[in-house]
Amino acid sequence: MVAPGSLNEFLSAQHSVIRVALTRVRGSSPRNEGTEMFVAPGALWGTIGGGQLEFLAINTARDMLRDGALHQDLDVPLGPEIGQCCGGRVELNLSRMRASDKWAATERAARNEDALPHVYVMGAGHVGRALANQFQHLPVRCILVDTRPEEIAFCAADVETRVSAIPEAEIWRAPAGSAFVVLTHDHGLDFLLTTAALERNDAAYVGMIGSATKRIKLRNWAQKHCDGQSIEHLKCPMGASGSRDKRPSVIAAFVAAEVMAELTSETAATALTGANQAPLRGHHHDRKGRSA
């Protein structure tokens, strides 16, 4: 059984747990070095990539729990020997967790949560809410912003929501390396928010819903009203996949894939390493949108 909820909830509920960690990766592997999974007698939390490698690790961990073993190291070729065809080789460390180990794992998980890239969905209409539905399942902190409380109220996704009379202020306050997806109910507001995001010069992604014609109109508007602001790095149309399907959920799927490709690129990872993660202006907000 794969356990729902947070790692803290899982570790609190399980008395005996084996931590499985990928300590070395050579060649192709389903997950990267440092990936963790936690195995209890009847439950799991996390994944090291599935397949026969994970099956082997789970069985080994549960044998350790049954036999009282404390530590074990595995060196596994990802080839025909285990029925997996990645072609690489991984080393695993399996260790029984003490109370201090559980605390340390919880602290690591909290730091990883805090370090998640921010994705600001500026507009809570049909596509905006469909995007929130996508991003709630991805390793990002999604913030859905709108001036209209009645539209925000329709959002059922597990994301942060903010009703803002001045939505551009949310862009000003965002951490470096954030992604901005602009799709409000008003073209003028779209232009204002998009140019505010581009003006930062530190966004991992800036996209605006619309057509090639709307892009040209924004370029002309920015030239006239924003001191010649370049829109070279703007994605518009967003999620341009060639699909003719205009349903909000389909559009959202393509846009979410585009955003994640940018956020997980080598360029984004390098830029984020040296970026200042503090908000630029104003107050920090917690996951529920409260000012701290």
- Top-confidence residue, 139 or 289: 139
pLDDT tens digits for 109-154?
999 999 999 999 999 999 999 999 999 999 999 999 999 999 999 9
pLDDT tens digits for 265-277?
876 655 555 444 4
Q: What is the pTM of this model?
A: 0.82
Residue 283 has pLDDT above 50, yes or no: no
With beta carbons less than 8 A apart as the criterion, state whether 235 and 205 touch: yes
* Cβ neighbours around 114 below 10 Å, total: 9
What is the rounded average pLDDT of the residues 67-89? 82
How far, in Å, CA of 233 to CA of 157, rounded? 29
Lowest mean pLDDT segment, chosen from 1-15, 97-111, 167-181: 1-15
- Per-residue pLDDT at 84: 62
Q: What is the mean pLDDT of the chain?
A: 89
Residue 3 has pLDDT above 70, yes or no: no
pLDDT grade for 87, boundaries at 50, 70 and 90? low
Residue 40 has pLDDT above 50, yes or no: yes
How far, in Å, CA of 128 to CA of 14, rounded? 38
Which residue type, as a one-letter code, is found at position 100?
S
How far, in Å, CA of 47 to CA of 29, rounded? 13
Residue 81 has pLDDT above 70, yes or no: no
- Top-confidence residue, 139 or 242: 139
Contacts of 227 (CB under 8 A, 6+ apart): none
Residue 250 has pLDDT above 60, yes or no: yes
